[in-house]
Each structure stands twice: as C-alpha cells, then as structure tokens.
Amino acid sequence: MIKKYYSYRAMPLRPDVREKRAKRKNVTKETQAVVNRRLRAERLSRLIMDNIEQGDLYLTCTYRIRPTAEQAQRDFEAFKRKLRTLYKKAGQVFKYISVLENLSGGGRPHGHILIPALDSKWIEKIRQAWPHGNIEFKLYGGHLRDAERLADYFTKEKIAKHSGRIQSSKNLIRTAPKKEKVTRAEAYNPDIIAPSGYRIIKDLSYSTYTMEGYPVSIAYFERVEQTGKREKKNERVRRLYQRDAANSAALSENENRRVQSQ
C-alpha cells in the first residue's frame, strides 16, 4: 500500500497552487471519529496481512443466552487461554487478532478471532473450549481484499465499554510503514505508478481529501508473476514429469499409474 498526501509542514509555496484544494471541512467529533476509524482499519489491515495466512481460521463465537458485557469479556479471555493450551499441545505457536461486538446497545454479544490453522482433529477441541454457544468456522482467504474487508468489519463499532476494541497477542509481527519525505512539490499529482513486479488493485485504491481540503491518494498493489518465469517453471515441471514417466517403465501397472497421477 502506498499513501501520498501533503504534510501541513510542507505545503506548496505558490498561493495559486496552495489554494487549489477542496473546501475545508469543519472538524467535529463525528468527522474526526470517521478519520480515526479509517486509520484504525488501515493499521489493522496491515497487521492481518503480516500475520494471518491463507487457510488460517476465522471464528465467530456466539451465545445461547445473552451475557453481561463484563461476563462476555471474561468468557472470551478464558477461551483464548484454552486455545493457547491447545496450541501448545499441538506443538504450534498461538497468536490471534480478536474483537468483541455488541457489548452495549442492540444485538447479542459475540466475538470474532483470527488464529493459525490446526489439523482437523483439533477442531472439535476448539469447539469444546467455547461452551457458551456456537462457533462458526471459516477459512481466511489470504488476499488483501480479505484483510481490508475484515479490518473494516472489525472497526465498524464505536469504542465504548470495550465494545469494538481490537485485541491482539503480543507475539505478532508489527511492520512499521516506511515513510519517505518527498521534496516540496508545486503541484500535487494524485496518480501512483505501480512498482516493478506489481499491479494496482483498482477496487481498493482511491483518492480523497484531508480535513484541510488537500488531496490524499491511497493505492493498493499485488505482486504479479512474470510471464517468462512462469513459462520456465512450467517447462521444468514438464521435463520432470517426462523424466519420472520414463523412469517408471519398469514398475508394475498400479505403481506406474500412481507415479503418473502425481
């Protein structure tokens, strides 16, 4: 992800360029809350991409009987402690990103948690670790769109009485964004060119304005495999297959069929 924006410390010098901007917005508690939510979602999306892989588990824990907010918090913390014990028995590191929702207001309280994948034999044990209701199991897709969608969903609630507050384990990778200070420009170019080996994800990329009315461009990219490298890889696989097929001539018919199917 690349974000381009004017710094309030480095505005254009020329008055005619400085004033080419959108109308300044009145900063209210509501408008600032929208900005803060967007920044939280941005940070959370990066955290998910750094730590959660395709095929990891996305759990939704619901209740049969509506608990108090305090009880829901205690239950969810106890659930995570049980998961930590299960992962230790499975010989795998436990890490998580979680959120509790509907602790205040309408709707029944429930929790979401992203955790590393485990073998299917552990699924029932995970289910037993949450005796308060049902657990819905989903597989995390692993694409940037999945991270953006979950980050937006996790941050949709107002932070009140810990409702909607993101919680994460301390052993997560937390990559700080790299900041590059560009020399003062007399004109703002909202276009962002994809780095070499990447292509822009158009449905996630957009341009907007800051509260001061200056433009902001946010672009998302995904890596693309070069055609030449892909063709060479396919050729290597084809040659290996031909070599294995030739070496399997002396095997029995059943063994030969197995090798070729691989």
Would you list the DSSP string of 99-164?
EEE-SSSSS--EEEEEE----GGGHHHHHHT-TTS-EEEEE---SHHHHHHHHHHHT-S--BTTBT
Helix, strand or coil for residue 217? strand
Render each residue's pLDDT in the chain as its tens digit; 262 residues.
888 887 666 666 777 666 666 666 677 777 777 888 888 899 999 999 999 999 999 999 999 999 998 999 999 999 999 999 999 999 999 999 999 998 876 778 899 999 999 999 999 999 999 999 999 999 999 999 999 999 999 988 765 555 567 899 999 999 988 988 776 665 567 777 898 899 999 999 988 887 777 778 899 999 887 545 555 655 565 555 455 444 434 333 333 333 343 3
- Give dist(CA 185, CA 10) in Å, integer: 9
Residue 122 contacts residue 86 (beta carbons within 8 Å)? yes
DSSP-derived letter for residue 180 is -
* Rounded alpha-carbon distances, angstroms, from residue 39 to 12, 33, 83, 126, 202: 25, 10, 30, 33, 20
DSSP bridge pairs for 136: 60
Total-model pTM: 0.75
Q: Sheet containing 2-5: give its strands across.
A: 2-5, 215-219, 206-209
Q: What is the pLDDT of residue 211?
A: 75
Domain segments of the chain as ranges: 2-189, 227-261
- Give dist(CA 144, CA 60) in Å, integer: 21
Q: Which fold has domain 2-189?
A: Alpha-Beta Plaits (3.30.70)
